[in-house]
Amino acid sequence: MEGPSDDATPQVLEEVLKPMLLSIGVPASHIILKLRQRHIDFGKVNRISALAMLRNEALAPLWHGWEDTAAVVYFNDVFLNPTDILELLHQHVRAGEAAGKETGITSGLDWWKKKPEYYYDVWVGRTIEGDLFYPMDSSWTPSDDLFPTSPKSKEEYANLNPFQVFSTWAGLAVLAATPFLEPNRLRFRRSDGSRDECAASECSLIANDLWKAGWGRVQVVPSVQVSYERNVAEDILEELSKQKKELGWEDGVPPDWRDPHVNWIAEPPEKVRCHPWPDAPGLSANVWENTRWVDPWI
């Protein structure tokens, strides 16, 4: 399902993706495209409610005959490389098989800029300690100091090894399908203000709910990095290529000594950093003016 885009996304899905899927043997009955959705006037609706509704609508096939789906892939308006999607799917399934329990979420990293570095999904990403991926004060400033309060994450990031986090989305995310089915029936949602729940992104709240339901195996695969602008995507490819060479990768394959296994922590952080969305219509807001530390779920 494609949200209300104002670019060539519908044509890409209809004229490129669909023929490609058919060419590799995906049955036509398994290709459902919902394109050119009605424009959302965010000046009249709550952003989180509207986006949660769209994400739930995309899940509808799960409840109508697709119960054996292995995973769900969501992607934002990023420049996509097919190998990135395959790598995330591979790491998602492999980690679940190694743990004997399904992985909840697997994502890469996304960037607004690389020169200088601006990590993009600051609002959603939380380390396994519950803190931001990227240091933020009252405004968005460049920094190459990712994971300053999470030494283990920082080490794994530098070595391009997967690592556990509390929440992530990062423009391209693979989610377990099982939690959206009976008996859990999870859904993307808005926060519960009546219970003083943090007014977080729908992508943050689904991570909270996955942890609560027993799917707290949430990971970042740093060898997958995406962006929203072509020149930035090219910068990422150039830097990742150099980094992989320095780490001994060959033809996209890491060296044998690399340990891709995540040592899962079963318990969530005691508190998670919250930057609440204002209770008002609108597509954008400065969430950095207020900081709270809250329970991982209510």
Q: So what's the pLDDT on residue 112? A: 93
Give me the pLDDT at residue 259, please: 73
Exposed, middle or buried by CB within 10 Å (0-12, 13-18, 19+), for 186?
A: buried
- Give residue 67's pLDDT: 82
Dihedral class, residue 75 (left if φ above 0, else alpha if ψ from -120 to 50, else beta):
beta
- Taking the C-alpha atoms of residue 296 and residue 270, their distance in angstroms, rounded to an integer, is 7
What pLDDT shows up at residue 220? 98
User: Which tokens sit at 91?
Assistant: 């790491």
Identify the pLDDT of residue 129.
98
Using DSSP's 3-state secondary structure scheme, residue 99 falls into helix
Distance CA 52, CA 74 (A): 13
pLDDT value at residue 1: 77
What tokens does 156 get?
A: 């794994």
Q: What separation in angstroms does the CA of 19 have from each of 13, 15, 22, 79, 82?
A: 9, 7, 5, 19, 15
Q: Residue ranges of the chain with pLDDT lower than 70? A: 4
pLDDT (tens digit, 9 = 90+) per residue, 1-24? 777 677 788 888 899 989 999 999
What tokens appear for 155 in the block? Answer: 């080490």
DSSP string, 21-37: HHHTT--GGG-----SP
User: Residue 157 and residue 98: Cα distance in Å, rounded?
Assistant: 21
Q: Can you tell me the distance from the alpha carbon of 205 to that of 248, in angstroms, rounded to the nearest whole number?
A: 38
Q: What is the pLDDT of residue 94?
A: 94
Percent of the chain with pLDDT over 90: 71
- What does the pLDDT look like over 181-224, one tens digit per residue? 999 999 999 999 999 999 999 999 999 999 999 999 999 999 99
pLDDT digits (tens, 9 = 90+) for 135-155: 887 778 888 889 999 999 999
Round to whole Å and give the CA distance between 77 and 90: 22
